[in-house]
Structure formats: C-alpha cells, structure tokens
C-alpha cells in the first residue's frame, strides 16, 4: 500500500528533483556526479533512519517500520550532499501509539500475518550549514 501522502510529497518535490537530475546529467563524470558508496558509509545509517522516520510519519500503519536492507546507495555533492538510496523497510513490533523514541531498539515482526517488507526509493538532500534535511523523493511499495 503506497500512501497518498507519499505520492503527494513526491509530486510536490518533483520540480526540485528534476532540476537536480538535469544539472547532474550535464555534469557528466565531474567530481559532483553521484557515485556508489559503501553500506558502512558514516552518513548512510542516519539517512536510512530518516527514510524510515519519514515513512512512519506518513503511514497509517499501527506499527513502526525500520530499515532492514540497503540495495544501492549513492552520494553526490551538490551544494550540500544528496543521497540516493534503494532500501527495504520492514514492520517492527513497536506500536506507533507507544511513541518509542529509539527505532533501532524495535524488533522485526516474527513470521506471520504482520510480517511485511517494503521496497523504497529515497532521495534526500542535506545542507549542513543550514542544518537542513530536504526529502526529495520517498516512494515505498511491497
């Protein structure tokens, strides 16, 4: 189930994303183009958590999801840093209404009806000197 809000957010931010994509195409293989990064990249852990927090904020699910795998991760320096990540998020046993602050402490659902994993595409733009995190794209589907 893809949330309507997710779609809405993606389309609202679409304009900015297209602009970024167009400028990165013209840049060719200059140092500023996106490049693959390791799953152990220091910033990536926070980035995938941001994806999960953002998904949880928008979903109507009774439970929180958290990252369960990273399939592809790229980083690009563009007036800050842009991350492009394909990841999986899975349903945990933590209920949203319990207001758990530490998502990392939530166990995944055991085998059964409530077990679910979603494939997500996430693009985020970090502007450290403005202390800003802009979500450019978040699309999750089963």
Ligand X SMILES: *[C@@H]1O[C@H](CO)[C@@H](O)[C@H](O)[C@H]1NC(C)=O
Assess 132 for contact with ligand X (CB under 6 A).
Answer: no
* From 12-20, 23-31, 54-62, 111-119, span contacting ligand X (CB under 6 A): 54-62
Assess 99 for contact with ligand X (CB under 6 A).
Answer: no
With CB under 6 A as the contact rule, the residue among 11, 100, 104, 115 that binds ligand X is 104
Give the helix, strand, coil percentages of the chain, each rounded to 5. Answer: 35, 40, 30
With CB under 6 A as the contact rule, the residue among 54, 59, 76, 109 that binds ligand X is 54
Which of 124, 142, 134 is closest to 61 using CA atoms?
A: 142
Assess 39 for contact with ligand X (CB under 6 A).
Answer: no
Provide the minimum distance between the beta carbon of 24 and ligand X in the complex, in angstroms, as a whole number.
Answer: 14
Q: How far apart are CA 104 and CA 45, in angstroms?
A: 11
Which alpha helices (DSSP H) does the chain contain, by range?
4-12, 14-27, 44-58
């Amino acid at each position: 189930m893809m949330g309507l809000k997710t779609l809405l957010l993606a389309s609202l931010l679409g304009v900015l994303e297209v602009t970024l994509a167009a400028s990165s195409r013209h840049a060719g293989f200059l140092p500023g183009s996106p490049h693959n990064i390791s799953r152990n990249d220091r910033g990536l852990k926070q980035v995938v958590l941001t994806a999960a927090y953002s998904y949880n904020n928008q979903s109507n699910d009774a439970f929180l999801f958290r990252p369960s795998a990273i399939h592809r991760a790229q980083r690009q320096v563009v007036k800050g840093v842009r991350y492009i990540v394909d990841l999986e998020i899975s349903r945990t046993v933590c209920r949203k209404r319990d207001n758990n602050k530490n998502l990392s402490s939530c166990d995944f659902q055991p085998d059964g009806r409530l077990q679910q994993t979603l494939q997500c595409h996430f693009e985020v733009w970090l502007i450290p000197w403005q202390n800003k995190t802009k979500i450019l794209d978040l699309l999750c589907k089963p």
